[in-house]
Amino acid sequence: MGLLDGKKALITGARKGIGRGIAVTLAREGADVGVNDIVDDAATRQTARMVSDLGRKATVHAADVSKPPEINRIIEDFVRLHGGIDILVNNAIFPDQKRPLFDTDEAYWDRMMDLSLKGYFFAAQTAAKHMVRQGRGGRIVSLSSVHAYRAWKGWTAYGIAKAGLRRMAMGMAVDLAGTGVTVNCIAPGAINNALSDNSLDPAPYDLSAHPSLKNLPTARGGLPSDIANAILFLTSNLGSYVNGETILIDGGMIASGGEM
């Protein structure tokens, strides 16, 4: 018996990093998984293979989830192929998220907000419509960040988006009251997202090579499985009374002042 037996979970940006960790962790607990990413390559297929090797159904849904028509298409495809949707995890992000204030032009702003706010919002809205229609509740989780809690130089646009997701979870939890659909965020700290071909986790960051992390209370770097375990809690019955919340999974970074 797994914590997610019979559940159908769609994970965005699941080709590598935290998204792959979530896909494999939810599959290990019995969920069938849809792997979305903007890149469909050997790594994307590897994530799907890691899910199917656990005996779960795995489907690949290549799409740019900053674009609502593409979001609608993959959610419709996922529902048709899996017979419904119980879990959506909004996880996708592009690289180069750090951008000094005066280099933050309109094109960068739109790119950030189109993916991290607009895309996450409409994916959640579309998945929630299906969940309400199905009448068996559901779980929506978005990846926020420590950047929603405090400012570091050069991260303002990213931080605005990640803070917006905290408010989105609160608002959607209220909007969906009584439906059995919960909406939450996980806010990771410094997680090593390096691609690792066959395993769930790469080695944690070597803290001696990251002076900014030297005071981290939990004296090791974070791993995709640290985040995936928190997502598992929220998406299973264990987390059924958590709603409209954002949970920091940061090894104590924010508690200790988070110098970076």
**Residue closest to 142 by CA, chosen among 85, 103, 89, 99:** 89
The reply on whether position 47 binds ligand NAD by CB under 6 A is no
Residue nearest to ligand NAD (CB): 17
Write out the DSSP string of 176-221: TTTTTEEEEEEEE-SB-----SSSS--PPP-GGG-GGGTT-SS-S-
Nearest approach in angstroms of CB 143 to ligand NAD is 3
Both tokens of 30, joined, read 């019995």
Q: Where are the alpha helices (DSSP H) in 135-184?
A: 156-175
**Residue closest to 187 by CA, chosen among 18, 36, 25:** 18
Residue 90, helix vs strand vs coil: strand
What single letter denotes the amino acid at residue 88? L
The reply on whether position 17 binds ligand NAD by CB under 6 A is yes
Nearest approach in angstroms of CB 64 to ligand NAD is 4
What is the chain's percent helix, strand, coil content, to nearest 5?
A: 45, 15, 40
Nearest approach in angstroms of CB 92 to ligand NAD is 4
Catalytic residue selected from 108, 120, 149, 158: 158
Taking residues 215 to 234 in sequence order and writing x for each that binds ligand NAD by CB under 6 A, - otherwise, the string is --------------------
User: Among all chains, which residue has been given the structure tokens 């130089």?
Assistant: 153
* C-beta closer to ligand NAD: residue 11 or 54: 11
**Contact yes or no for 129/70 (Cβ under 8 A):** no
Answer yes or no: 158 catalytic. yes
Residues 182-201 that bind ligand NAD (CB under 6 A): 188, 190-191, 193
The reply on whether position 91 binds ligand NAD by CB under 6 A is yes
The reply on whether position 10 binds ligand NAD by CB under 6 A is no
The count of residues interacting with ligand NAD (CB under 6 A) is 26
**Residue closest to 10 by CA, chosen among 134, 152, 126:** 126
Torsion angles phi and psi, residue 4, rounded to 5: -125, 25
Residues 107-166 that bind ligand NAD (CB under 6 A): 115, 143, 145
User: Among all chains, which residue has been given the structure tokens 């950047």?
Assistant: 147
Nearest approach in angstroms of CB 24 to ligand NAD is 13
* C-beta closer to ligand NAD: residue 64 or 84: 64
* C-beta closer to ligand NAD: residue 13 or 34: 13
Catalytic residues: 158
Q: Which residues contact ligand NAD by CB under 6 A?
A: 12-13, 15-19, 36-39, 64-66, 91-95, 115, 143, 145, 188, 190-191, 193
